[in-house]
Amino acid sequence: MGVFFSVLLNIIEIVLSVLEFLALAASVVTFFVLMLNKYSKALKKILVPLGMRFFTRLRVLVLCRRSPLKKRAFLEFSLLKTGGRSVSTAEWRSIINGFKAFYTDSASKSVYVLSNCTPLIGEHFSRAVQVYFDYFQDEKVKKAFGMKGDLIEWAIGIRIEEAYATPTFLLTGLLARYEENWADFIRRYVSTAYMTETEESDNDKVLSNELYMTFAWLLWGPSYELKHDSYWSGLCQLSFGDESNSVPAIADGRIAPQIAKCFRKNVGRRYGELMSVELTLLNKGEYLRRMRQKVIPDEAYFYERLEGEESSFSLRIDDFHVREGYKSKKYYSTAYVWLLFELEDESRYAFQPKTSLAFFEHANLTDMATYQFLIETLLNKCFLHFASVFGNGAYEGRKYRFVCAMNKDIEVKFLQKYAERTAENSADAQAFRTRLLPEPKRRPANAFAAFDEFFAQDTEYSFEEADAAEKNTITDLACFYADIYMGNFPDVNERESFENLLKYLQNAADAEAYKYHIVLVKNKHGTIMAGAIFDYFKRTNCAVVEFIAVRQNLQSAGIGSALYHHILETISKDAFENGKLRPEYVFCEIDAPSHSRAQVKKYLYFWDKYKFMRLNMQYVQPALSGTQKPVKGLWLTVSSLHKMLTKLPGKLVADVIYDYMKYAMGIAEPDRAPEYVKMKQELFTLGEVGLSKLIEHDPV
């Protein structure tokens, strides 16, 4: 009997060992199945960067192991809870417990409730959602989760309890474009002020107070009303308190006419409607591509803008409920009410932001009394300004043309007031009839697109040096020559031929006495933005900047300054290779103010910023070829990288001009050029050349 029990115990022990092994094996297999499946990879890709740890991930894998829909729902729930920011392990435990209460396995979609739109605003949430969509773009991942098609929708819905809806689109504000960098913004404002002053007459340039109003209008970004009273694709704005605190959304299918009906019903009572809105979050690119095929041409611009915005997703309105009660009646949401004009010029083909003028007021849209009061204030401001301009004899030929308004209501009121102002037979009324033109000649979208281009901040650019042996750089040089160089040198006598530039590059390839540089600035798309030609001469240890030219619509955006600093780096390297610590002096040839096309010389401020001073001498550029003439309307300027200047040795200046003419202009024997002979004689007579400031006083 004892032997039997002993054998039985051994058998039981073996069985238990086998079962333990099988259990362990099953655990190991289960572990690897959980950790190596696509959902584990999704958690690792999407949520681990937000602070999810290993054991938390394992717990979620067990919780969501059976349902692909539940797996996606947890990812989306977590993104909303974290807002795309990293959270602690304790917070992850709270998120998991919250998800258990939130998610049901029923056929109906679980809905995540937000009190307002603010959790959907911000780069952290947008960036995290982008990671989500990037992961689910993979076809194998889609198949594993039972997803079909290119349009990816969230598995859970979103409801915003307080969404003030308006049929408007928020144009990106300048602060957002400049990433709230006030220094860059103010610099651009000042630069644009100088740019406008280069126009030939006071009738061609925006006034300083007009430019200020336009910049202030664009600062946080205005909204523009889409035509919801006719065919409307459903694009609207859901805000909380202010238009800058909003998200764009698109009313889908049958919902758009219903919302439009609410907007029309409110005319005379309020602008917009307070709603509780049911939303679906979708991958932006595919959804907007589909929607753009349905929109009228006037609205296509806004969908293109949405595609280019930083937000990684689109919001589709699936349902809505108008909010009733005391709170809805006392609600408020603010926005600009505005009017946009431009200086009239029959020869100007395109809208130019630098010649535009905006009037605006910040109004409470939900309170019709304040809304209407501020529209009247807006119109009074507008007509008061024009009256002051028309009454000033200095601006006798100046005309303005209406472009567009924030909405149709403001436009109608403007036309009514215009009719009242021009109905009389007075001189004042005559001025308004002939100099304020109420019929627009631009589509609003064209004007908005012009602002986009004018304020584009393309900081991703590179420097490319032209090389005679590199065909791609010569191709880029040809583009620069045709698109930028020729426009900056309308005087044929100042302009080098493209063939000469190639010849100078080839001659400099093996030169010992000098370095010849042509540097181009290219953006990330390969477009040429700017260029410069400059030289370094070994015997004098000096450099000459022949010119810096920036594409016209990109001027005053810092590209010229960046290019000049690159020039300094390059010539410093040349000097170092020549056994010098730095170049002794940097010379530059610029237009004399008396010969410049511009009335106010913006380029003088640029070179003055880098401490350039004019040499007090008669500088003349010899003829660049047998068919060209000498150029007298130039200044030779100079700057030092390491000391303040008051004068320069005449012999040094003569030597620099000699090398410049010989190597950079292709004049084989400068001593035989009468222009050089005369300048050399003057320099040697002076002994030392005095210097003058480029700007003796600010001519504002």
Q: Mind giving me the DSSP string for 528-546?
A: EEEEEEEEEETTTTEEEEE
Instruction: Determine the Cα–Cα distance for residues 432 and 180; give it in Å rounded to an integer.
Output: 39
Instruction: Determine the Cα–Cα distance for residues 287 and 249; give it in Å rounded to an integer.
Output: 12
Instruction: Determine the Cα–Cα distance for residues 174 and 457; give it in Å rounded to an integer.
Output: 10
Residue with tokens 């696509």, as numbered in its chain: 38
CA angle at 86 for the pair 82 and 88, rounded to the nearest 5°: 90
Q: How far is CA 275 from the centre of its chain?
A: 32
Contact 554, 490 (CB under 8 A): no
Which pair of tokens denotes residue 384? Answer: 């008061």
Contact 281, 287 (CB under 8 A): no
Interstrand relation of 273-283 and 400-405 (parallel, antiparallel or unpaired) = unpaired
Phi/psi zone of residue 146: left (φ > 0), alpha (ψ -120 to 50 degrees), beta? left
Interstrand relation of 400-405 and 585-591 (parallel, antiparallel or unpaired) = unpaired
* Secondary structure of residue 502 in the 3-state scheme: helix
- Give me the pLDDT at residue 8, please: 66
Which pair of tokens denotes residue 383? Answer: 């007509």
CA angle at 196 for the pair 191 and 199, rounded to the nearest 5°: 140
Q: How far is CA 58 from the centre of its chain?
A: 43
Query: What pairs with residue 586 in β-bridges?
Result: 543, 639
Instruction: Determine the Cα–Cα distance for residues 616 and 468; give it in Å rounded to an integer.
Output: 37
Residue with tokens 């880098």, as numbered in its chain: 610
Q: Which of 483, 230, 249, 447 lies closest to 342 in space, CA to CA?
A: 447
Q: What string of DSSP letters covers 66-105? A: S-HHHHHHHHHHHHHHHTTS---HHHHHHHHHHHHHH---
**Could you tell me the end-to-end alpha-carbon distance of the chain, in angstroms, rounded to an integer?**
118
* Secondary structure of residue 258 in the 3-state scheme: helix
- Give me the pLDDT at residue 285, please: 85
Instruction: Determine the Cα–Cα distance for residues 426 and 83; give it in Å rounded to an integer.
Output: 62
- For 677, half-sphere exposure in the C-beta direction (CA atoms, 13 angstrom radius) is 5
Which pair of tokens denotes residue 241? Answer: 């308190």
CA 93 → CA 57, 60, 102, distances in Å? 11, 10, 14
Give the other-Cβ count within 10 Å of 259's Cβ: 23
DSSP secondary structure code for residue 631 in this structure: B
Buried b (16+ CB within 10 A) or exposed e, 289-303: eebbeebeeebebbb
Long-range pairs of 479-483 with CB within 8 A, sequence gap ≥ 24: 479/528, 480/520, 480/528, 480/531, 483/528, 483/551
* Secondary structure of residue 34 in the 3-state scheme: helix
Contact 638, 540 (CB under 8 A): no
Q: Which of 691, 543, 539 lies closest to 619 in space, CA to CA?
A: 691
Instruction: Determine the Cα–Cα distance for residues 537 and 49; give it in Å rounded to an integer.
Output: 54
Which pair of tokens denotes residue 357? Answer: 């003028």
Query: What pairs with residue 279 in β-bridges?
Result: 158, 317
Contact 134, 179 (CB under 8 A): no
- Give me the pLDDT at residue 700, please: 31
Q: In 84-201, which ranges are continuous DSSP H helix?
A: 89-102, 123-135, 139-144, 174-177, 182-196
pLDDT mean for each 10 residues of the chain (700 residues): 65 63 47 56 93 93 89 96 95 95 83 96 93 92 88 95 95 78 77 62 77 92 87 90 93 89 86 94 88 75 83 94 85 94 80 90 92 96 96 90 94 96 92 94 84 71 90 92 86 86 91 94 88 96 94 78 87 89 91 68 80 92 84 90 83 95 90 92 93 67
Residue with tokens 């572990």, as numbered in its chain: 31
CA angle at 524 for the pair 561 and 496, rounded to the nearest 5°: 55
Which pair of tokens denotes residue 345? Answer: 């010029």
Which pair of tokens denotes residue 224? Answer: 């523009």
DSSP secondary structure code for residue 497 in this structure: P
Query: Burial of 174 by CB count in 10 Å (0-12 exposed, 13-18 middle, 19+ buried)?
Result: buried
Which pair of tokens denotes residue 360? Answer: 């605006």
Query: Burial of 164 by CB count in 10 Å (0-12 exposed, 13-18 middle, 19+ buried)?
Result: buried
Q: Which of 582, 568, 675, 672 lies closest to 620 in space, CA to CA?
A: 675
- Longest Cα separation, the chain: 134
What beta strand segments (E) does 215-272 contain? Answer: 223-225, 235-239, 246-251
Q: Which of 53, 62, 37 lies closest to 143 in space, CA to CA?
A: 37
Instruction: Determine the Cα–Cα distance for residues 581 and 579; give it in Å rounded to an integer.
Output: 7
User: Phi then psi for 210, rounded to 5 degrees?
Assistant: -70, -45
Rounded to two decimals, what is the model's pTM?
0.69
Q: Torsion over CA of 173, 176, 181 and 183, rounded to 10 degrees?
A: -20
